Amino acid sequence: MSKDQIVNKDDLVVRFAGDSGDGMQLSGTLFSDASALTGNDIATFPDYPAEIRAPHNTIAGVSGYQVHVGNHIYSSGDKCDILVAMNPASFKSNLKWAKKGASVIVDIDTFTDEAMEKAGYKENPFTDEMEHAYTIIKAPITSFTARIGQEQGADKKTADKCRNMFALGIIFFMTHKKLDQTFAYLERKFAKKPDVIKLNKAVLSEGYEYADKLEVIHSHIFEVAHAEMPKGRYRNITGNVATAWGLLAASERSGRRLFLGSYPITPATDVMVELSKHKALGARVFQAEDEIAGVCSAIGASYAGALACTSTSGPGLSLKSEALGLAVMTELPLVVVDVQRGGPSTGLPTKTEQSDLNQALYGRNGEAPLIVVAASSSANCFYWAYTAAKLALEHMTPVILLTDGYLGNGSQLFRIPKVADLPSITPRLAKPNDPNYRPFRRDPETFAREWALPGMEGLRHRVGGLEKCPDGPLSTDPENHALMTYNRQEKVNRVANYIPEQEVTGNPDADLLVIGWGGTAGAITLAVEELNNEGKKVAYTHFNYICPLPKNTGDILRKYKKIVVCELNNGQFAGYLRTQFPECPMQQYNKIMGLPFEVGELKECFTKILGE
């Protein structure tokens, strides 16, 4: 391929877009898997509509999947270098995600008058201006696929389903990747359908060869940098699966049965779907009749001695509020996973946001403190689920773990740990027949009470939502209520003694401190890194422990002249920090569009603040 112009790149963003049934999520996954296996770091982000199959060829029905590959990948990338658009609607709605000069592959066969009209085009979209701005490759994907289908005796519907393989073949050629990985996948997936394997392989190869024959493509072959990653065994994982596995690991390590009581809700459902597969590993999953029964069954399971969890998303967390107060009052360990989505109410079910923070911190009646932690990458959902379980079991309190749709559905490389190497978990179990057992006797250091399980001899006791005195019986005594309220708060405050100090990255001597929390770490890290590489001075601190905050938080905040808090909401974390550190002035950068941050917008914001 002497005539090839190989474009060497540190990273490359590919976006697959098509109709909901066009198999874009699969194409994206296969491309990211193949990239990971050939040594790239990866991050993916599916962008799909709430409707399962919106009307064919409409903008509402467009489903997308973005893959970011290269060395040191922190996020799924801002705009793409290559866009695949399988129909006019996906072309129209996704072109805004393509960089200027990007390669755009369209299935030209789908650009019929009817389909273009459905997508809202009044005239031919491929104007001279557009052809100038992008390299548009008009591939006859449908007709090529149909021809191969015909040759192999497949019906039109079956052949149509393989169109995504043709597009994938083109992408594989353009990114200098081999097809073996995907062949192996097809053989596994359709083991019982040799016809389907044959057809898919043929279409994939045809796409690859088609690309080889196009001169324009030969000037757009991308060689993406391999990742320099710590040694170890790796796999690809989504945030929701990582969350489920983190809980499984915590159950095994703590010796407590895992119980999950949940109700289906986007985008959290996959946590329950994943755990439902693992009865062999002892996962006791209960699909409840509603969100309230989900959390209540978990509270019952916790009383009976399980590592009890419930998974949900914003509206579901609202429904669980009263029961969370019960878990606070009974001081039982409980992990609540909230995969945040756009709100309020039903909001934007399939889009990401960080707007449940206030609800997690404050959304209960009475003084009802609990621990709040947040994951910051798809892969580290594993560790934060594990940590949430550890804190719940060791400090006898409910813990809310905040992830979000971006982390939950997105995927990343995950360095596989050994369960034995994870931090130990020591549940605070009472000793049977302990004559001194009292339901609310506390550890003098942590203030955590002991966990006496039904079935244990000599520890019969009652718990419930009514205020109790330390010995267990009900009490409406004013001083007792003050004491118990103080103790419940102090127990959560003291968790700060058991978590690591907050770290600052970037340039710690900068004037500007950037603050982020939860799922935005990828984009902020990259923005800060790029600015520092450009000679600007920016410090960055990212919070995973939200309540309580690490003990040195105030010391860090007070060091910087300028602080900007970036979050995908209207400023909830900024408000929370202000109540604790009113002496520190803070600016905000907020985005509420149901979308993750882009590196570009963050750099622009930080540069502006630096110049003020």
Partner 1 sequence: MAKRHFVPKAGVEYTKADFTSDQMVKWCPGCGDHAILSSLLSTFPKTGHKKENICMVSGIGCSSRIPYYVDTYGFHSIHGRACAIATGVKLANPELSVWVNMGDGDSMAIGGNHLIHAVRRNQDFNITIFNNEIYGLTKGQYSPTTKFGQVTKTSPFGTIDYPFNPGELVMGAQGTFFARSLDCVPALTSQVMEAAAKHDGTSVVEVLQNCMIFNDKTHAAITDRAVRDDRTIVLENGKPMIFGKEKNKGIRFNGRCLEAVTIGENGITMDDIMIHHEDTEDTGIHMMLARMSGDLPVALGVIRNVEKPSYTELYENQMDECKANGKYKCVDDLLNSGDTWEV
- State the nearest-atom distance from the C-beta of 35 to partner 1, in Å: 12
Strand partners, 46: 65
Q: Which is nearer to partner 1, 232 or 478 (CB)?
A: 232
Q: How far apart are CA 561 and CA 571, in angstroms?
A: 20
Sole binder of partner 1 in the list 146, 308, 510, 577 (CB under 8 A): 308
What separation in angstroms does the CA of 141 have from each of 34, 206, 240, 490? 22, 10, 34, 64
Segment 373 to 412, residues that bind partner 1, using CB under 8 A: none
Question: Which residues fall within 8 angstroms of residue 2, CB to CB, at 6 or more apart?
Answer: none
Q: Which segment (103-111, 354-362, 423-431, 461-469) binds partner 1 by CB under 8 A?
A: 461-469
Q: Which is nearer to partner 1, 16 or 259 (CB)?
A: 259
Sole binder of partner 1 in the list 235, 431, 558, 608 (CB under 8 A): 235
CB of 362 within 8 A of CB of 369? no
Whole-angstrom Cα Rg for the chain: 26
Q: How far apart are CA 310 and CA 264, in angstroms?
A: 11
Nearest to 236 by CA among 424, 41, 73, 45: 41
Q: Which segment (54-62, 233-241, 346-354, 481-489) binds partner 1 by CB under 8 A?
A: 233-241
51's enclosing H/E stretch is: none
Q: How far apart are CA 612 and CA 421, in angstroms?
A: 47
Sole binder of partner 1 in the list 122, 155, 232, 479 (CB under 8 A): 232
Q: How far apart are CA 528 and CA 551, in angstroms?
A: 24
Sole binder of partner 1 in the list 48, 303, 383, 406 (CB under 8 A): 303
SS3 state at 528: helix
Q: Which is nearer to partner 1, 121 or 190 (CB)?
A: 190
Q: Which is nearer to partner 1, 50 or 474 (CB)?
A: 474
Give the per-residue contact string, 277-296, with partner 1 (x = CB under 8 A; - = no). -xxxxx-x-x-xxx-xx--x
Q: Which is nearer to partner 1, 202 or 326 (CB)?
A: 326
- State the nearest-atom distance from the C-beta of 382 to partner 1, in Å: 9
Total binding residues toward partner 1, as defined by CB under 8 A = 68
Nearest to 389 by CA among 535, 249, 205, 519: 249
Q: Which segment (95-103, 134-142, 246-254, 542-550) binds partner 1 by CB under 8 A?
A: 246-254
Q: How far apart are CA 105 and CA 137, in angstroms?
A: 5
Angle of the 291-303 helix axis to the 321-330 helix axis, nearest 10 = 10
Question: Which residues fall within 8 angstroms of residue 527, CB to CB, at 6 or more apart?
Answer: 514, 597, 599, 602, 603, 606
Q: Which is nearer to partner 1, 14 or 319 (CB)?
A: 319
Sole binder of partner 1 in the list 132, 156, 193, 462 (CB under 8 A): 462
260's enclosing H/E stretch is: strand 258-262
SS3 state at 411: strand
Residue 478 interacting with partner 1 (CB under 8 A): no
- State the nearest-atom distance from the C-beta of 392 to partner 1, in Å: 15
Q: Which segment (120-128, 213-221, 448-456, 561-569) binds partner 1 by CB under 8 A?
A: 448-456
Strand partners, 414: 235
Q: Which is nearer to partner 1, 208 or 259 (CB)?
A: 259
Residue 464 interacting with partner 1 (CB under 8 A): yes
Sole binder of partner 1 in the list 60, 474, 482, 593 (CB under 8 A): 474
Sole binder of partner 1 in the list 417, 470, 508, 575 (CB under 8 A): 417
Q: Which is nearer to partner 1, 249 or 268 (CB)?
A: 249
460's enclosing H/E stretch is: none
Q: What is the DSSP letter of 74?
A: -
- State the nearest-atom distance from the C-beta of 338 to partner 1, in Å: 19
Give the per-residue contact string, 33-72, with partner 1 (x = CB under 8 A; - = no). x--xx-x---------------------------------
Q: How far apart are CA 357 and CA 340, in angstroms?
A: 9
Residue 431 interacting with partner 1 (CB under 8 A): no
Residue 366 interacting with partner 1 (CB under 8 A): no
Question: Which residues fall within 8 angstroms of residue 450, CB to CB, at 6 or more apart?
Answer: 396, 428, 429, 430, 437, 441
Sole binder of partner 1 in the list 191, 419, 482, 593 (CB under 8 A): 419
CB of 368 within 8 A of CB of 328? yes
Sole binder of partner 1 in the list 224, 299, 317, 547 (CB under 8 A): 299
Sole binder of partner 1 in the list 196, 229, 273, 610 (CB under 8 A): 229
CB of 27 within 8 A of CB of 167? yes
Angle of the 381-395 helix axis to the 239-254 helix axis, nearest 10 = 40
Q: Which is nearer to partner 1, 438 or 578 (CB)?
A: 438
Amino acid identity, residue 8? Answer: N
- State the nearest-atom distance from the C-beta of 302 to partner 1, in Å: 7
Binding site for partner 1 (CB under 8 A): 33, 36-37, 39, 229-236, 245, 248-249, 252, 257, 259, 261, 278-282, 284, 286, 288-290, 292-293, 296-306, 308, 322-323, 325-326, 330, 416-419, 453-466, 473-474
